[in-house]
Each structure stands twice: as structure tokens, then as C-alpha cells.
Amino acid sequence: MPFHCHKNLLFSMLFALISTAGFAKTTVTALKCEYQINPVGIGVVQPRLSWQIAATENNFVQQAYEIRVAETPGNFSGTGKLLWGTGKVNSSGSVNIPYGGPAAKPMQRVWWQVRIWDANNKATAWSESAYWEMGLLTGGDWKASWIRFGGEKDNLVSRPAHYFRKEFSLSKKVKSARVYVTALGLYELHINGKKVGNDLFTPGWTSYKNRIQYQTYDVTSMLSAKNAIGAIVGDGWYRGNIGFKGQRSYYGDKSALLAQLEVKYTDGSRETIATDTNWKATTGPILESDIYNGELYDARLELNGWDQTGFADSKWEGATVYDFTKSTLIAPQGVPVQAIHEIKPVKLIKTPKGESVLDMGQNMVGVVRLKVAGNSGDKVVVKFAEVLDKAGNFYTDNLRAAKCTDTYILKGGGEEVYQPLFTFHGFRFVKLEGLTSEPTLDQITGVVIHSAMTPTGSFACSDSLINQLQHNIQWGQKGNFVDVPTDCPQRDERLGWTGDAQVFSMTAAFNFDVAAFYTKWMKDFTADQLKSGRVPHVIPDVLNGGGGATAWADASIIVPWTVYQVYGDKRILAEQYNSMKAWVEYMHIRAGDKNLWMGDEHFGDWLAFASNSSSYPGATTEKDLIATAYYAHSSKLLSQIATILGKTEDATFYANLSAAVKKAFIDEFVTKNGRVVSHTQTGYSLALAFDLLPENLKKSSAEYLAADVKKMGHLTSGFVGTPLVCQTLTSIGRDDLAFMLLKRTKYPSWLYPVTQGATTIWERWDGQKPDGSFQDVGMNSFNHYAYGAIGEWLYKHVAGIDIDPQHPGYKHILMSPHPGGDLTKASAELNSVYGMIKSSWKLDKSHFVYDVTIPVNATATITLPHAELSKVMVNQLPLYGSKNFKSEQVKDATTVELGSGSYQFSYDSDLFLPQK
């Protein structure tokens, strides 16, 4: 070959190598299916696929993608057969792309890969293979029978947990094995002496009369030639105490187990081991298990080796088949509850009453693992409290009827370790009764339990009290997101109150990935919603249909809307649309032709600040005003949702309805001078935030709001108004007042509980009064996240991370930091569906430094406060005149359009200095 040919070939190869090497740094990562990594046992027949992109270059936007799906990873190579492929799709979409191939069969696993193209039309390598696996899709897929323990005695307040077992042999080499399992009650599954999976409180809490989840576990590695499978079943939400006034067995009075083990052998044959009359059943050491009251465990009754082969079960009864439907069985769509981490007590307290109390240092939710030694029959009683009283004594009056007590009876013979199985408690302080010596710090461990949501957000600033507030918000969310978003985790309630979740939904989505969590919960809205469209107060409903309260029932619209905004999830809007529409139509009927929702019972601005003191007058906002405001707001949201879903007739109808309700609101509740009836912070915040005022009155109403806040010097709002007050004040240009409210440390305020040592958000502004006494024992939770909704404002406004409503899911980010309140720095991070977003600012007198990170395949508009374009530096170079950035002077701010990457802006402005 002539030299010049060698030379040309060499240059071609070198050029190709350089080009490929440069692009090889761009990879497709973090493949997810229905918000999960490699999910096993899903029930969505057209699951959605998402991915993120790792790229070293800035301003990277995906130009096209291709997905391919196959039955095995080997089919991706050569001429392997594909189940489905998109071909090259010109789109920057990388979130929630629906699978469009043939529906996967029950128990089938399919594999998928994706590759993308850049702006130069260069493709990445195919991603690593990921998969999803279907569960059992219909009742007909179940070969197992429901079984129960037939020897149960009736008329017990709390019944012993039931134990089930079966031994079986496998004669061939196992290729794979899955177990599908659920219960009426709560279960824990065991195979060959080991617990299956890490989940707790399975099958989870749903509207059991309509939907019962089952779980799927890959147990291939747990099996051998000879095997034992078993389960423990407790009362749980299904037939334990739930609701008020000692209500038990709301869903049914019989617990049961359903399990189906599917074994696939290497020779292609299959075998099924399923619950039937060949299983054995009995009771054991768990004599009582109740979510409210705790657990009674007698270690002398332990069944050592019950879940292993060779156990003598001749005294066990044959299981009884229970005739119960399988048509309501569904695969989970949420995230499981798990033991997330552990904490140790920080000190031992001797109370004035002489009791020894262990302080965990954190109001937490979960259980205590106890280490103890003693004689057979000795009894140790573990009691829980959130707070100590004014005198420093153990305080449990606010737990109401909930006993919140775990009792352990020792078997004797050395150190014993006990951890309850089917209960949880909300507590900071632990009292051990029955010990023969003083308790020690290493005697207990706090096991923190909540839904295994992925943490996504963080916020921090220069004020340590605000940082503690953020800590309290996140711990309040963890403690109350235990399969459903509950109001509180400690007393005889722990229900899915819709209003609390509604006002907190956006804050929740900053702190954790709640897409799957809310998707699961919203299905129970549909299940429990009445035919009239009325939405129960709590979901799942255990209050026998009571509902229809404004701001509470509106969670049926606002929570799916939040999921759409945060995750770009249109499917939740489509699947919840009929429910949303039914709720608006319920309001439509209740309001009548006058378009005013008047006279019905509502919770109103729940727990709004009130006092008999002349120094702190209370504030009561008319419930009719709140109801009509939410009627207008939800109708407007429904119109927007209808537009997104292509329902043009509905979009027009509900837009017109919302406009009509707005007019009625103005005529009924707003004077000609812009004064809103009730004249409260909540009233004005609703009117302004929901756009219920005519243009010519917005300014005067804003002035009324500002004047009231300035006059009072504190919040006067409750659950409904509080999330809106700071947002509304900043929208009318009164950051000074919003920061004043944020930084106030006296009662009532967000920081008052912090100064009192709170480690979670309180239910009431004055749960513990300045004199150390407590509020009404009938309703005084010290772990109640609703007032933590201020977190949304901290992330969005102070740190400056917000959603562009035209590009949901943070596809385009609006970043606008707001220094104020004498803060010298603030930062937030949010791991979005596209990747990590960072916003961090520092202020040194007049010098402002702002660091931002935009994830790959997303863009952002940055608004720099008090910034003169000609003085702004970006990455230490002048912004003005730069061809790399599109920037603009807008009044006293500078806006910059950014692509992916990390950037630092810096400049000086005298407007940051205190103004005279």
C-alpha cells in the first residue's frame, strides 16, 4: 500500500478515535422504569421508561433517542429478535417515555436499552441493559388459596399473630424463583430461616375493600433441595385499631395469608408451591400486635426453628382455606416501608418523679430494639413519649387512647434482643419499666422506619435556627410518610388526612422523591371517593364516608398536579382525571347557580392562631370564603389539566366556570376598595394567590395584607393560609415582611418550636406554651408536618429553584435567589428527574456570589437580583458582551439563559446594603 494511503488511513483512524473518545464521555445512565431501578413484580402493562445523561460538555441537550426492548440481553447483539424498538425518535424527552410494544405476560421479565444523539448527530453507545418484570396481573393468575388459622378465639381486644409454614423439596436445578405474597393484616415472610426482603408492614395500607397490594420477591438464592417457607401475620391496619373511638376490624375480622412461589428450572419446567390446606398454622410469642397500642411478646413461647426444615410441627393445626376474593389484588405502585437507619440515645434522664428516661435526641418514628437479661417470666415494659412535661416528667396525655407500649416477657438464659414486628411509635423519650438495674445508653437502639423514599433535596443557610427548621420539616415528613401521608405518628389517629398532604405536597417533593408514593396514594382517592364526587377526609377512608371539606378534598386535584409539575408525569393526570372532575362537579352542585359554596361544614383555616389576649387577637377566616376560593382554584386547575390532556371541551367549560366563580367571589367577599371579608392574612393570601381579584383591586388588597402582617408582627393563619402567606408577600414585593415572619422566634412562628427544642414540626403553634405548659391534650401532636409547608418557599424563593410551568419536571428551571432577612448565604440542591440542580449564594456586604448547576438535558433562566449587566462576571469573565450567554437587563435584575453545566456569577451592588 502506498505511503500516502497509509497516511490517509492513519489520519482517518486518529480523527475517528478523537471524535469517539470525545463523545464517549457522554453516557446514558440511571435507567428507571416507573420510577424504579429494575423493578420486579409490577402491574403496569405499558410502563414508562426514564434515563439521565452524563456529559462533560456544557449546554448538552439530547436531540434524539432510541429504545430497544428484548426478552433477553443476548438478543441485543447480532441479529437477536427484539420485542419492540422505537427507532430513532427526534426528541429531547428522557422522562416517562411509554413502552409501546406488546404487553408483557404475567411474571415475564423484559430487558431494555437506550441510546441518544447529540447536536452533531452523533450517537452514544447503548446504555447498560436494564429490565422490568411483571407480576401476577389478574385474579386468575393466582393458583394459591387464602388460608387462615382456624383455632382463633373470638372476642379478644388484640389477637395473637398467626404463624404459617410448609416444607417442600425441589428435585431439579433452579434457574429462578419468585414468591408473590400478601395478607389480610400485616405479614413477614421467611424461607429457610431467613426473612424475605427488607420491607416492613407489608402488604401496605390501601383501601382494602377495593385494593390489596401483594409483593414480589426474587428468592432464587434462598432455595435449596429441601426447603421451609413460612409467614407471620398480625392484625395491622386491616383488623387492628384504626380510626376513632376504639374502632377495630374496619376492613374485616379475619386475618389470612396468600402466597405463591413460582420456581423455574434450568430444563424449562416450572413448579408452583402455594398456600393451601397442606400448610400448618398456629400462634406463637406475639400475643398482641396493634399499630396504636404496641406489641406484647412472650419469648417463652418462641417457636425456635419454625421457619426451617425438620421442625416438629405435629401440634400445629392444618391451615383453613378462606373464601376471599383475589380480584382486588394489585401490584404495588408505591415504595415499601423499611427500617431506614438507627440512632442511639444521647442521655439518661432521672425525672423529678424518680423515673429513668432515655432521650433519643430526636422525635422519631419506628421502634426500639431492646437488649435485656433476666429470669424466665421477667417482664420489661417499654413506653414512649414525644416530650417531657413542664416539670421534666414523662408525658403521654397527648397520646389519647393509644397505649403506645411494647411488653417483652423474658425466656431467661442470657442476653435477649427484642424488636417489635407489627407496630410503630412516634417518640423521642423511652421509659423502661421492670428492669432490675438502671438502664444504660447501649440497652436500646432507635430503629427509624418510614417509606423508603429517595432523598432528593437539601436546604441550608447562615441561620442555624432556620437550618434546624429544615431538619424538623424533613424529619416530620419521614415520620409521617409511612405508606400513606399521615397527620401524626403517635396517638390513636395516624390517618391519611388529605388537607395536611395537600398543603405540604410541593415541600414533600423537594425533600424526597414522592412520585411513586403519591401515585399509589392517589389510587385510593379513586377507590374511596363517593359516587357523588365527595372526597373523604382521610384516604384510605376509615371514617365511614365523612368528607367533602374544602382544601382537604382538593388534594384530589392538587397532589396529582404537583406530581405533574415536579416529575413531568402526565399519566397521573389522565388516570386521576375522572376523580378530579367528579370533585369539581360535587362543588358545582353544592354551590348552585350562584357559584358560591355557602353553608356546608368545613374545617376552615384549621388551627389558625387564636388567643383571648388583647395583645394577640385571633383571626377567623369565613369558611364560605375559603370554600369558594378553592372552588375557583380547583376549577381553574382542572381546566389547565384538561388542556394538557387534549380535552378541549372540558378545558373551556371549567375555565368559564372558574371565571364565573371568581366573579361571584369578588361580588360576595371583596369590597369596592379591595378589602376582603374576614380581613385576615389567610383571606388576602387566598384571594391574591388564587388570582381572585380584579386588576384594579390587587394593589389595595396587597396593601391590606401587608398592613395586617406589619401590625400583628406574626402569622395569624392556620393549615390553609400559612403555606400561602410568605409566597403571597413576596409576590407583592414585600420580602421584608416575609423574612420577618420566617425569622420570628417568639410564639406564634415557625422558629418558636425550634427555640423550645423541637426536632419535628408541631401540630399547633403553641403545642408547648412559653410557660412550659401544653395545649389541649385532645389534639396536640409534636410531629405534624402541615406547618412545614414553608419549606417550599425556602427552596423556591430563598434559594431560588422553581419550576417553569410550561416545561414541567424541571426541564426548564427558573432560578431566582432572594437574599433577605440578614442571611449571608443560602443553598439548595434538588436531584430532579434530569439530575442534580444546585443553587447557592453568598453575600458579603455588597458583593454577591451565585453558584448554579444545571443538569444535562435541561436548561434554565437565571435571574440575578440587583445586578447591573455590565458589572456581572460569569466564571470570572465579563458577562456583558459574551457570545456564550444570552443575557438581558430587566429593571434592576439581570437574566441569563443557561444550558447544562456549572457556573459562578459574581458582582457588587449597593442595593444589597441596608437601605435608609
List, for residues 839-851, the tens digit of each pLDDT value.
Answer: 999 999 999 999 9
Determine the straight-line distance between the first and last CA of the chain, rounded to whole angstroms. 83
Whose CA is closest to 831, among 804, 869, 805, 801?
801
C-alpha gyration radius of the chain? 30
% of the chain with per-residue pLDDT over 90: 93
Q: Report the C-alpha gap between 894 and 900 in whole angstroms.
A: 19
Residue 682 CA to residue 619 CA, distance in Å, equals 9
- Give the chain's mean pLDDT: 95
Active site residue 703: no
Cα–Cα dist 515/35, whole Å:
7
Q: What digits encode the pLDDT tens for the residues 860-872?
A: 999 999 999 999 9
Question: Does residue 873 surpass a pLDDT of 90?
Answer: yes
Q: Which three cell numbers stand for residue 383?
A: 413506653
Q: Is 152 a catalytic residue?
A: no
Question: Looking at residue 865, what is its pLDDT?
Answer: 98
How many C-beta atoms lie closer than 10 Å to residue 53's C-beta? 25
Residue 120 has pLDDT above 80, yes or no: yes
The residue that leads in pLDDT, 22 or 800, is: 800
pLDDT band for position 119 (cuts 50, 70, 90): very high
The pLDDT of residue 153 is 79
* Mean pLDDT computed over 671-683: 97
pTM value > 0.85: yes
Give yes or no for residue 534 having a pLDDT over 90: yes
C-alpha span between 715 and 722 (Å, rounded) = 8
Choose, from 386, 763, 792, 829, the residue flagged as catalytic: 763
* Average pLDDT over every residue of 18-24: 43
Active-site residue, from 167, 295, 386, 493 = 493
Average pLDDT over residues 264-269: 97
Cell 411474571 maps to which residue? 107
pLDDT of 19 over the 50 cut? no
> pLDDT-derived band of residue 166, with 50, 70 and 90 as boundaries?
very high
- d(CA 67, CA 701) in angstroms, rounded, equals 53
pLDDT at residue number 155: 57
3-state SS assignment for residue 432: strand
Residues forming a β-bridge with 849: 842, 906
Q: CA-CA distances (angstroms) from residue 596 to 626, 662, 664?
A: 11, 9, 6
Q: At what angle do helices 498-511 and 464-480 cross, to 10 degrees?
A: 120
Q: What is the mean pLDDT of residues 826-833?
A: 98
